[in-house]
Structure 1
Amino acid sequence: MKKPIIVLGIGELGSVFSRAFLKNNYPVYPITRQTNINELANTINPELVLICTAEDDLQNALHSTPDKWKDRITMIQNELLPRDWQTHNFIDPTVISVWFEKKKGIDPKVLISSPIYGKKAKILIDSLALINIPSHIINSEEELLFELVLKNLYILTTNIVGLVIESDANINDLRNKHSSLMSNVSNDIIAIQTKLTGKTFDKKKLEQGIIKIFESDLEHNCMGRFALTRLKRTLKLAKKFNLSVPALKKIANEHV
């Protein structure tokens, strides 16, 4: 019998992964706010521990992870970067940049194949394939960092621009009617990502990646429900690093 998988956070995405693991014959143990995680760690030796919390809850979740599980952590969050886990002494964590969305009462919608890096990647790929969600392995930390920054650029740019354009605007509207604003916001986001990672990124390659994602779902709405929270969090980071982010500040001053 396969070893169980722990899923910390059973929201919409957590439920998708749980179903995939169950289809792959892995027992699944959910962790909720009511779970005594240390007690559970004394009774279960999991194959992997999937952290499915929201971005704002990630640090608390990582901090609460028992030491005996630190060699099998997998993360899926938006706005994720290595700095988020490097202070927690995890051993070779697995990370997936999720490119499918799940809303309540609706089947998962795939945009593109989700890249995965880490020693538990094959389990995720095999499991997700059983529920028709494509994913693929990437082979280096450098590739992973690029994929995480690409995801952050997409999420933050579309959400933040979505705050100030038509409320029902979609990706097609964004690229056809607001390309200049999108470019200015993207430049600010890239500057922040560069500061957060200590790395520089090929803007043309990022642009090509964004175009591919745009083409996968032109009707996707720009402004998500966490758009304002993302803007505030991004401006806080810019202030921390004393970065000039004129497009973001203009949006905050005029429209928020």
Structure 2
Amino acid sequence: MKKPIVVLGIGELGSVFARAFLKNNYPVYPITRKTDINELAATIDPELILVCTGESDLQAALKTIPAHWKDRVAMMQNELLPRDWENHNFINPTVISVWFEKKKGMDSKVLISSPVFGTKAQILAESLALIDIPAHVLANEADLLFELVVKNLYILTTNIAGIAIKSGANVDDLRNNHLDLMREVSRDVLKLQTALTAQTFDEIQLEQGMMKAFEGDLAHGCMGRSAPARLDRALELAKEFNLDMPTLQNIKQKS
């Protein structure tokens, strides 16, 4: 009998992971807002705890993880970087950069294979494969950081450029008809990612990674519901790090 897996947050993506784990013969325990996590922690010894809350709820959720579960935590949020989990004293956390979507009333839609790294990476990759969602295990933390920055660049660039275009543009429009805007936005976003990680990255490699994701779904809309909040969050962080982000500031002023 396999140990159970705890899924903290059963929204659209959380439900996809839960189905994948069940298909892989893992009992699944969901944690909702009504669950007493400490009571649950006293009764089960889980294989892993996958945190599936939204980005805005992540820090509050991570603070609820019981001490004796801190060696088996996994995360899958957008805009995720090491600074988001480093102060929680997790031991070798597992992180997946999710490249599939799940919207209400629709099945999962894959853009590209989702990279994952950490002690529980193999379980995530194997489980997702059973529901036809490709994922691959990365070799090291440096590869994970690069993949997280690629995803952040993709999300923030497309969302924020979409605010500027205001025409229901998709990523194919963005790369073909608004290439200068795309690169100006991504330059500001990369400046922020560099500050948040204290690392430098190859701009060409990152753009190639973003283009690969574009190819996965050329009709993918640029501006999702979260776009304005992402722009505001980016500008707040820029202020915190004293960064000049002229393109993002200009888009905010005109929006």
Q: Which letter maps to 2:7? A: V
In the TM superposition, residue 176 of structure 1 has moved relative to its aligned partner by 1.2
2:35 is matched with: 35
In the TM superposition, residue 139 of structure 1 has moved relative to its aligned partner by 1.0
2:171 is matched with: 171
1:5 is matched with: 5
Matches of 1:184 and 1:230, distance apart in 2: 17
Map 1:40-189 onto structure 2 (within 5 A): 40-189=40-189
In the TM superposition, residue 166 of structure 1 has moved relative to its aligned partner by 3.4
| SS of 1:208 mapped into structure 2 | helix
Contact 1:167 1:223 survives alignment (8 Å): no
Q: Which letter maps to 1:231? A: L
Matches of 1:40 and 1:133, distance apart in 2: 29
Matches of 1:250 and 1:211, distance apart in 2: 25
Matches of 2:76 and 2:165, distance apart in 1: 29
Q: Which letter maps to 2:9? A: G
150-159 or 166-175, larger mean C-alpha shift = 166-175
In the TM superposition, residue 254 of structure 1 has moved relative to its aligned partner by 1.2
Q: 1:92-140, CA deviations, whole angstroms, 9 ceiling, x for partnerless residues?
A: 0000000000011111000100000001011111110110000001011
Q: CA RMSD in A?
A: 0.6
In structure 1, list runs of 5 or more residues that go unmatched: none
Q: Which letter maps to 1:197? A: T
Matches of 2:38 and 2:213, distance apart in 1: 40
In the TM superposition, residue 239 of structure 1 has moved relative to its aligned partner by 0.4
TM-score w.r.t. the length of structure 2 is 0.99
Matches of 1:191 and 1:98, distance apart in 2: 23
Q: Which letter maps to 1:251? A: I
| SS of 1:174 mapped into structure 2 | helix
2:220 is matched with: 220
Large movers: runs of 4+ above 2 Å: none
Matches of 1:204 and 1:168, distance apart in 2: 27
2:208 is matched with: 208
Matches of 1:219 and 1:91, distance apart in 2: 39
Matches of 2:225 and 2:44, distance apart in 1: 36
In the TM superposition, residue 167 of structure 1 has moved relative to its aligned partner by 3.2
Contact 1:158 1:223 survives alignment (8 Å): yes
Matches of 1:223 and 1:167, distance apart in 2: 9
Matches of 1:122 and 1:70, distance apart in 2: 18
TM-score w.r.t. the length of structure 1 is 0.99
Matches of 2:215 and 2:24, distance apart in 1: 31
| SS of 2:164 mapped into structure 1 | coil
The share of aligned pairs that are identical, in percent, is 67
2:229 is matched with: 229
| SS of 1:164 mapped into structure 2 | helix
In structure 2, list runs of 5 or more residues that go unmatched: none
